[in-house]
Structure 1
Amino acid sequence: MSEKLSSHESQELFEAQLSRLGEAHYLVLLWSAKSEGKAWKYNLTNFFDDLKHLGITRTKQTAVAVIEAMASLCFIELRDESNRKNIYITKYGAKALARLLEARRYESKASAYLEV
């Protein structure tokens, strides 16, 4: 079954995906975009440390699950570089971040790694 989605259906799917994103999903988009703006590398360990610092999670499993979900949605890309899993926002992730910022669903929080 290789039926193509119409433009309207694609937009509906995108909106449904956005409606299911939580705060940690938003933050990985925000922080990966900020890191690219600074030409820094942001990785899974940085993300976990930031979530832990903010009290959002205490386990690396949660950070991994968020990253894997966002990669599955094509909102971020994970690359193995120098023994690290670096996180890069995609054009779809940038579009999702823009929509989430417009909606003001979540408060922007500082990344301890990026604010150094």
Structure 2
Amino acid sequence: MTDLFEEQCLMLKEPHFLILYWTAKAEEKEIKYNITNIFDDLKYIGATRTKQSAVSFVDSLHTLCFVGISGDGNRKNLYISKHGAKALEYLLSNTKYKPKKSLFLEGSK
């Protein structure tokens, strides 16, 4: 099973990593982080130009059980699962991905 987990993690792209990272940081700050915030942050760093892409990144993480989603519409809030936390830890130590700042989280100090 470990091999499958590692393969899943290595298939993730930088936006997936950043969504996991930002979601974990939002939980640390005890603030809600939703799909609209994700889209704005991904657009700011140049990772996407469409909300559809942001939703697609979130959906793939949800399918892998790396994030949970609660709420309706664009205000669906994300939370990181225990599997997502493991994936984030793996990505931080085994990939070239580096955290980038979230405009939403920076403004929510």
Give 5+ residue unaligned stretches, structure 1.
Answer: 1-9
> Shift in Å at residue 16 of structure 1?
0.8
Task: Supply the RMSD in Å over aligned alpha carbons.
Answer: 1.4
**Deviating runs (4+, > 4 A) in structure 1?**
none
> Shift in Å at residue 84 of structure 1?
1.5
Counterpart residue identity of residue 88, structure 2: L
Higher Cα Rg, which structure? 1
Matches within 5 A, 1:56-71: 56-71=47-62
Farther-moved stretch of structure 1 (81-90 vs 29-38): 81-90
Counterpart residue number, 2:105:
114
Query: Counterpart of 1:78 in 2: which secondary structure?
Result: strand
Matches within 5 A, 1:18-33: 18-33=9-24
Give 5+ residue unaligned stretches, structure 2.
Answer: none
Counterpart residue number, 2:76:
85
Q: Deviations over 1:8-50 (max 9, x none)?
A: xx10110110110000000010000000000000000000000
TM-score normalized by the length of structure 2? 0.94
Q: How many residues end up aligned between the 2 structures?
A: 107
Matches within 5 A, 1:47-58: 47-58=38-49
TM-score normalized by the length of structure 1? 0.88
Change (3 A) 1:38 1:81: farther
More helix as a share of residues: 2
